[in-house]
């Protein structure tokens, strides 16, 4: 099988560029690099993407560097020749990415491994984790051992890719297995020294950007300097976390030395997308670029966190995460940012001038550079003269700036052991710099789980005041990692949602699945539903927070109930959902049940009927009631008790008495005498 090279005229003409840092160029700032100083294409350092066919190499390159959406990669065609992607014009990092076809054959005579591996900074080997990876491991072994023999300075990076399809446990198990087998294979041929780094990646989340960031950072000789600059910047400005991002690729080329938590990183990545998208829509059309000197964005989240993005160079931006109260000192942050920006420019100026001088530092710089520092990595003293003017909140404003500038350019020692920190990594604790050993000894947190110290370079996760190694942050029941999962504290331990639900949560009566804590649910009559499962029996739509009517075992929204089941008012014939009155086996809206005579509502009032029609007392009395032969008022039956009836006449009971002596005749014998009624005594007197 023969391999074609993407640009045949360049094949075999590559200059020897040694390991990556040498002649490492940057897409510099406008004034930063002369045209003739940028590395020519054939001497640019390169990153190789290798792996079996369809492992995802081209997708990675397209998603990270060309903003292709992950779904579009489904339509990528197989690569059949080496594809060289030159990023020098569009990205901060001035390198080429070579995407190799999956079927690359090292034994083909046209495969010039000397030429390919000599100028390589990093070799990324992509393994499809959703596939059987035995063949991939064989190819990995063949590739890295061959490359190592040509250039032992290459960084070998293994992307265990497409992990979006795997469960968390499966991911960890796959990583462990790949790690074990790959290293065993190398040990078998005596290549124990060859170091492989492993990353779990997917183009469907931020993991691919994070992994690429790590790959690129390892190739940056300026990394310690940039980290220190960011440390100083954040500690003097009340910022919690800051990333220096390449805007095109969303690779962060440096961050301060506090642990990177994925959530902050993802927030910052999302912010960059928002800024670029909005600039593309509303930015000045004539400039063409979505990102320029004026680029600046502030996003206030609803949890009192602020994200602050500012342009540093044509390709780089700082994205900071800070609390709202710290952002009140925006003037201070901006002033310190200004110092930081100047320092970053100067750091890269050094690289550019060094390049122009053919690899020698120029005279003006050697006088202020310590002899031990690399020409590409100015030590702390180089930038101290710039960042020395950064000020802390307590020192703000004005006059103290100069004092600080003076003192910081004098000494820069570890607070504990007093050893010089120039050119070394350090960590700020309460604004005091500590060397790494002192930091680990005095300030590193103890893991709540294993009780060991969490060293400065271990990934640390914390919940309230408990700190954990990343690998100790697990569910105490099923042991799964909780790094990217919601969890609930249970006494001293943490449990994942699934375990928690199995034990404590209620089940939805509709679907019989667990109602996850924190999810929206509905409880009624001691039963629980997922919000979406509580649907109207009629229209089958979720009822949500609306009123509903239970009917036997079913529930209906009001419109469905009215349309299908509700009884109809005997008067207006409209549905009656609730309330109402029943009269003579028929239902009525309260407002429809009125006196047949005067139309006043009768609900809650005494009423009587004449035939089928209801009447209020007043109307009934006027229209139909008999008059009492005693008092001549109506006998209504309401409140006036029983009445007595004799022949054509009626009396209220109290009125039924002897017309002469007024003795009550109720229950006694009486004698009608024309209009009168008499007791037996008065009758015999006659």
Binding site for ligand GTP (CB under 6 A): 51, 53-59, 73-74, 76, 78-79, 101-102, 161-162, 164-165, 202-204
Write down the least CB distance from residue 69 to ligand GTP, Å.
Answer: 11
Instruction: Name which of 203 and 665 has its Cβ closer to ligand GTP.
Output: 203
- Judge contact between 463 and 241, C-beta under 8 A: no
Instruction: Name which of 3 and 405 has its Cβ closer to ligand GTP.
Output: 3
Instruction: Name which of 201 and 228 has its Cβ closer to ligand GTP.
Output: 201
Nearest-angstrom CA–CA distance, 617 and 640: 12
Instruction: Name which of 165 and 284 has its Cβ closer to ligand GTP.
Output: 165
Nearest-angstrom CA–CA distance, 556 and 535: 8
Write down the least CB distance from residue 85 to ligand GTP, Å.
Answer: 12
CA 465 to chain centre: 22
Write down the least CB distance from residue 123 to ligand GTP, Å.
Answer: 15
Determine the straight-line distance between the first and last CA of the chain, rounded to whole angstroms: 148
Write down the least CB distance from residue 75 to ligand GTP, Å.
Answer: 8
Write down the least CB distance from residue 77 to ligand GTP, Å.
Answer: 7
Instruction: Name which of 68 and 535 has its Cβ closer to ligand GTP.
Output: 68
Instruction: Name which of 55 and 151 has its Cβ closer to ligand GTP.
Output: 55
Write down the least CB distance from residue 480 to ligand GTP, Å.
Answer: 21
Write down the least CB distance from residue 4 to ligand GTP, Å.
Answer: 13
Residues 6+ positions from 68 with CB-CB distance below 8 Å: 59, 62
**Residue located via tokens 């980290």:** 227
Would you call 403 exposed, middle or buried from its count of C-beta atoms within 10 A (0-12, 13-18, 19+)?
A: exposed
CA distance to 600, 606, 643, 653, per residue, from 639 (Å)? 20, 10, 11, 12
- Judge contact between 138 and 186, C-beta under 8 A: no
Nearest-angstrom CA–CA distance, 590 and 614: 13
Write down the least CB distance from residue 487 to ligand GTP, Å.
Answer: 26
Write down the least CB distance from residue 199 to ligand GTP, Å.
Answer: 12
- Judge contact between 656 and 645, C-beta under 8 A: no
- Residue 507: phi, psi to the nearest 5? -110, 150
Pick from 246, 235, 381, 402: nearest CA to 322: 235
**Residue located via tokens 């994070």:** 210
Would you call 558 exposed, middle or buried from its count of C-beta atoms within 10 A (0-12, 13-18, 19+)?
A: middle
Residues 6+ positions from 93 with CB-CB distance below 8 Å: 26, 27, 87, 216, 219, 246, 249, 251, 253
Q: Which residue is nearest to ligand GTP (CB)?
A: 102
Instruction: Name which of 45 and 56 has its Cβ closer to ligand GTP.
Output: 56
Neighbours of 173 (CB within 10 A): 12
Write down the least CB distance from residue 261 to ligand GTP, Å.
Answer: 22
Instruction: Name which of 74 and 134 has its Cβ closer to ligand GTP.
Output: 74
Instruction: Name which of 63 and 560 has its Cβ closer to ligand GTP.
Output: 63
Write down the least CB distance from residue 215 to ligand GTP, Å.
Answer: 16
Axis-axis angle for helices 134-150, 168-188 (nearest 10): 50
Nearest-angstrom CA–CA distance, 347 and 194: 31
**Residue located via tokens 């790690």:** 179
Instruction: Name which of 160 and 482 has its Cβ closer to ligand GTP.
Output: 160
Look up residue 324 and give its two tokens.
């709202």
Longest dimension (CA), the chain: 155
Instruction: Name which of 135 and 591 has its Cβ closer to ligand GTP.
Output: 135
């Amino acid at each position: 099988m023969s391999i074609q090279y993407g640009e045949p005229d360049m094949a075999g003409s590559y200059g020897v560029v040694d390991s990556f840092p040498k002649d490492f160029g940057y897409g510099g700032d406008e004034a930063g690099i002369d045209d003739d100083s940028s590395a020519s294409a054939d001497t640019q350092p390169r990153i190789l993407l290798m792996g079996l066919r369809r492992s995802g190499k081209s997708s990675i390159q397209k998603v990270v560097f060309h903003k292709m959406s992950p779904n579009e990669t489904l339509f990528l065609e197989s690569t059949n020749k080496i594809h060289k992607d030159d990023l020098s014009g569009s990205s901060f990092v001035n390198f080429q990415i070579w995407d190799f076809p999956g079927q690359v054959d090292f034994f083909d005579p046209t495969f010039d491994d000397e030429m390919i591996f000599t100028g390589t900074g990093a070799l990324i080997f992509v393994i499809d984790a959703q596939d059987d990876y035995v063949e991939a491991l064989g190819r990995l072994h063949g590739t890295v051992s061959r490359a190592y023999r040509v250039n032992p300075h290459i960084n070998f990076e293994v992307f265990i890719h497409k992990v979006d399809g795997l469960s968390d446990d499966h991911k960890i198990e796959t990583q462990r297995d790949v790690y074990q087998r790959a290293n065993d294979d190398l040990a078998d041929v005596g290549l124990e020294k060859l170091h492989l780094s492993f990353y779990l990646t997917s183009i469907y989340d931020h993991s691919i950007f994070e992994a690429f960031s790590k790959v690129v950072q390892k190739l940056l000789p300026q990394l310690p300097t940039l980290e220190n600059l960011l440390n100083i910047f954040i500690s003097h400005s009340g910022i919690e976390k800051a990333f220096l991002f390449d805007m095109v690729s969303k690779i962060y080329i440096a961050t301060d030395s506090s642990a990177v938590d994925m959530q902050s990183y993802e927030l910052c990545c999302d912010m960059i997308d928002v800024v670029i998208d909005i600039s593309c829509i509303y930015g000045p059309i004539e400039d063409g670029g979505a990102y320029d000197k004026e680029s600046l964005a502030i996003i206030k989240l609803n949890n009192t966190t602020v994200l602050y993005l500012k342009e540093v160079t044509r390709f780089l931006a700082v994205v900071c995460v800070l609390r709202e109260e710290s952002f009140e000192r925006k003037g201070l942050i901006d002033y310190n940012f200004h110092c930081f920006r100047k320092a970053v420019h100067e750091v890269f100026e050094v690289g550019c001038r060094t390049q122009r001088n053919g690899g020698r530092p120029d005279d003006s710089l050697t006088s202020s550079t310590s002899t031990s520092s690399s020409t590409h990595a100015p030590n702390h003293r180089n930038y101290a003269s710039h960042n020395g003017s950064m000020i802390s909140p307590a020192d703000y404003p004005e006059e103290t700036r100069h004092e600080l500038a003076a003192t910081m350019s004098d000494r820069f020692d570890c607070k504990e052991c007093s050893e010089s920190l120039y050119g070394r990594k350090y960590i700020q604790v309460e604004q005091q710099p500590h060397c790494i050993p002192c930091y680990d000894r005095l300030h590193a947190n103890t893991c709540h789980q294993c009780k060991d110290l969490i060293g400065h370079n271990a990934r640390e996760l914390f919940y309230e005041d408990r700190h954990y190694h990343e690998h100790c942050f697990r569910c105490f029941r099923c042991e799964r990692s909780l790094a990217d999962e919601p969890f609930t504290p249970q006494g001293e331990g943490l449990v994942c949602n699934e375990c928690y639900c199995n034990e404590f949560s209620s089940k939805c009566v509709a679907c019989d699945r667990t109602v996850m804590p924190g999810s929206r649910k509905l409880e009624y009559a001691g039963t629980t539903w997922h919000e979406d499962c509580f649907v109207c029996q009629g229209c089958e739509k979720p009822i949500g927070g609306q009123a509903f009517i239970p009917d036997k075992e079913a529930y209906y929204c009001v419109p469905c109930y009215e349309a299908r089941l509700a009884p109809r008012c005997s008067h207006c014939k409209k549905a009656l959902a609730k309330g109402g009155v029943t009269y003579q086996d028929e239902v009525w809206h309260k407002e429809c049940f009125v006196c047949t005579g005067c139309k006043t509502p009768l609900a809650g009032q005494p009423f009587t009927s004449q035939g089928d029609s209801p009447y209020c007392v007043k109307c009934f009395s006027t229209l139909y009631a008999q008059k009492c032969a005693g008092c001549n008022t109506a006998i209504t039956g309401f409140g006036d008790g029983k009445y007595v009836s004799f022949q054509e006449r009626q009396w209220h009971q109290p009125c039924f008495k002897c017309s002469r002596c007024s003795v009550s005749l109720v229950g006694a014998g009486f004698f009608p005498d024309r209009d009168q009624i008499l007791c037996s005594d008065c009758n015999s007197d006659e």
